[in-house]
Structure 1
Amino acid sequence: MSETTAIRPVTVPAQPASGPGDSASQRSYRPELAELIADIPLLDVGDPAGARRTLKGLEAQWPPPDTSALVITEHTVPGPDGAPDVPVRVYTPKTPGPHGGLLWFHGGGFVMGDLETEHSQCVRFATDADCVVVSVQYRLAPENPFPAGVEDCYSALEWTAKNTGDLGIVPGRLAVAGCSAGGALAAGVSLMARDRSGPGLVLQLLTYPVIDDRMDTPSARRFQDTPVWSTPQSKKMWRQYLGEGHEERETSPYAAPGRARDLSGLPPAHIVTAEFDPLRDEGIGYGLRLLRAGVPAGINQWAGTFHIFDSFGTPLGDRVMVDLVEALRNAFAD
């Protein structure tokens, strides 16, 4: 369950303590991550328009991936219950098929991101795991709060399952995946597919996922000032996604999968978490609950890391991708 590579302590600039026994100066980040912290911009989900502009600026700086092994096409999927069509981008390997199929839901705190945000990751998955990737541009909050985003993602799953022949996908070899808020969407879609007797899934791949709106875990209480993501950001995110006063209302497990009372009958899971991430404990806790419910689940906890730590072009990010690709290949081979 733990990634055990030794970490050399790295001193980072002191910041206000984020909880009992925890301060920024006491955390031992991996050296290749510690040197990046000062340059990481704030993507404030409390200001969706500003966060979207900042993210677009970052995307413009990222080098384009090598897509030579793929055919990439754009499609639209019928939206749920008369809602607007859902744009999707399909990455198809040029190798002989049919292939396994992966539905990818991008991160962004439910308020930002589009088909470009994790384009490079989709290229890597399609190329290295030799699978068809369907990346989904779901509607964003606060303009389109829950359940718009997760219903869009479920519609994309249904469309993919109905069109496996045209897409070059082996029927019955579908997986869902996402990072951060995309992880919440992947877990929520897995619950929907079970509850609605929808398409069968062979894997839910959840990378540092958003799982529970209650934010009452030790990591959520401690990490108030961590790089990239912190509990104050989580509070803003849930307000945007669920609306003002959501604390007084019952939250659907399709929004916050940790609210689900019964996890039996769900697809196997592979979960990645980061040590200095407020979402750490809810991801680990969800994996343990899946195991107790009889659902196969792997939990890979990376020491010395923070939220989206694998997105900065470091060798560590490559190691994480190798781990995720292996999980996908194994699921599609079973």
Structure 2
Amino acid sequence: MTTFRAVKSFREVGSFRDRVDPELLPGLAFSEEHPPPVSLAELAGFRAGAEAPDTAVVPGVKVQDFVTGGVPLRVFTPSGDGPHPAIYWLHGGGMIAGSVELDSAYCASLCARTGAVVAAVDYRLAPEHPFPAPLDDALAGLQWLFASAADLGVDPERVAVAGSSAGGGLAAGLALLNRDQAGLPLAFLYLMYPMLDPTHSSGSAREFSGIPTWNRAHSKFAWGCYLGSDGPASPYAAPALAEDLAGLPPALLQTGELDLFRDEDISFGMRLLQAGVPTELHVYPGAYHGFELNCPDSSVGARCLQDRDRALIRALHGSSVSALTTPAEGTYS
């Protein structure tokens, strides 16, 4: 039995690699060298080994750190007179890793490219702080952003909630919680390959159970840390389980053809459309989880980031979209 599983895993990985866009293979090698954790012991080492990318100074972007109710936030402000639109950013990391520091280069670039204030929240991580602690922090930071809009030069009528991977799932849960309780006027929802479904019952969750990027074992460990129990998950923790998606803000969902989350993301996008939520959905061929971060200068990585920028600019700047330009391929950081 052990031999059979090993052979099956080898074949699965080989087939997966054959399907990867050739421009994305260098990033795949990075993922193989730095696998996500599947145990608490591995998690400690994974966190300790995480290194922030070089944070080049982005001209015209001001960076400030704040704390509200014990929750740290980092705010990136573009040049020019406000009020600016804002993007409330939730980092990835499976709810068990990641930080604002690791995402600072990404957020500074996002700020410059979209002409929006980017407010990134450093929410608490599982398993030390399981659900609802990360969502509580996310809501507290969002409420602070609206309450501080005048001081930050933010237009509270043009605020998007956004995140990637676990941050995308947290952004979706926050949008649901805000719809049901807080009632803040969110203008847009950006979800990059969001982590939505702890059941791992989709076709892609079964298909990509042993791939070298984020796979079923990584995901099951992370969900177990986040949910903290075997009981039914709240839809605020696992947005795929929400029965009603009506009333959420217009959305952009992006995912990769070779992503474990592919089918749950496509399903969530379809359900948003069926609930009457204006939704744009992109599935990028030959792309695995994290492709646009590992290989931002690849054709598919650059296209993904451009699609992100255009959707956010259109949603947040409206008729003034022509005042901003999306840089050419190969210039993302």
Match of 1:291 among 273, 277, 280: 273
1:207 aligns to 2:192 (yes or no): yes
1:26 Cα offset (Å): 2.3
* Residue in structure 2 matched with residue 68 of structure 1 by the alignment: 59
Q: Does 1:325 align with 2:309?
A: yes
Greater CA drift, 129-138 or 112-121: 112-121
SS at match of 1:36: helix
Give me the identity figure in percent. Answer: 39
Structure 2 distance, partners of 1:69, 1:206, is: 26
- 1:52 paired residue number: 47
Deviations 1:48-73 (Å, cap 9, x if unpaired)?
21120122xx32xx222332211110
Q: Alignment partner of 2:145: what SS? A: helix
- Is contact 1:268-1:295 (8 Å) kept? yes
Partner of 1:9 in structure 2?
Answer: none
CA contact (8 A) 1:32 1:314 kept: no
Provide the C-alpha distance between the structure 1 equivalents of 2:295 and 2:21, rounded to a whole number of angstroms.
14
TM-superposition CA deviations, 1:21-80 (whole Å, max 9, x none): x8222231111212332332112152321120122xx32xx22233221111000012xx
Alignment of structure 1 residues 141-160 onto 2, 5 Å: 141-160=126-145
SS of equivalent to 1:236: helix
How many angstroms apart in 2 are the aligned matches of 1:324 and 1:17? 37
Structure 1 gap segments, 5+ residues each: 1-14, 79-84
Query: For residues 217-268 of structure 1, what are the alpha-carbon distances to aligned partners after superposition, in whole Å with 9 as ceiling and x for unaligned?
Result: 0000110122320011111011111124x2xx12101100011100000111
TM-score by length of 1: 0.88
- Deviation of residue 16 (structure 1)? 4.3
Residue 127 (str. 1) matches residue 102 (str. 2):
no
1:155 and 1:130 map into 2 onto residues whose CA distance is: 24
Contact 2:13–2:212 (8 Å) recurs in 1: no
CA distance in 1, matches of 2:287, 2:239: 24
Mark the CA change 1:36 to 1:70 in structure 2 (over 3 Å): closer, same or farther: closer
Per the alignment, do residues 36 and 193 of structure 1 end up closer, same or farther by CA in structure 2, a change over 3 Å counting? Answer: closer
Report the equivalent of 2:71: 86
1:115 CA drift (Å): 1.3
Distance 1:167-1:324 versus aligned 2 partners, 3 A rule: same
3-state SS of 1:196 partner: helix
Matches within 5 A, 1:137-286: 137-244=122-229, 246=230, 249-286=231-268
Distance change in 2, residues 1:292/1:16 (3 Å): farther
CA contact (8 A) 2:71 2:122 kept: yes
- SS at the partner of 1:271? strand
Q: Is the 8 A contact 2:12 2:211 kept in 1?
A: no
Matched residue pairs, number? 305
SS at match of 2:257: strand
Extract unaligned runs of 5+ from structure 2.
1-5, 319-333
Amino acid at match of 1:281: D
Give RMSD over aligned pairs: 1.6
Cα distance, 1:275–1:116 mapped onto 2, change above 3 Å: same
CA contact (8 A) 2:246 2:275 kept: yes
Greater shift, 114-123 or 284-293, is seen at: 114-123
Letter of the structure 1 residue corresponding to residue 48 of structure 2: R
TM-superposition CA deviations, 1:187-227 (whole Å, max 9, x none): 01100110014211111100010011111000001101223
Which has more helix, going by share of residues? 2
Query: Which residue of structure 2 lines up, in the alignment, with residue 4 of structure 1?
Result: none
Counterpart CA distance in 1 for 2:307 and 2:38 is 29
Q: Say if 1:122 and 1:135, in contact at 8 Å, map to a contact too.
A: yes
Q: 2:13 aligns with which of 16, 24, 29?
A: 24
Aligned residue type for 2:37:
D
Checking the alignment, whether the CA contact within 8 Å between 2:21 and 2:287 is kept in structure 1 is: yes
Q: TM-score with structure 2 length normalisation?
A: 0.88
Amino acid at match of 1:328: L
The answer on 1:301 being equivalent to 2:300 is no
Q: Give the distance between the partners of 2:282 and 2:148, measured in 1 at CA.
A: 33
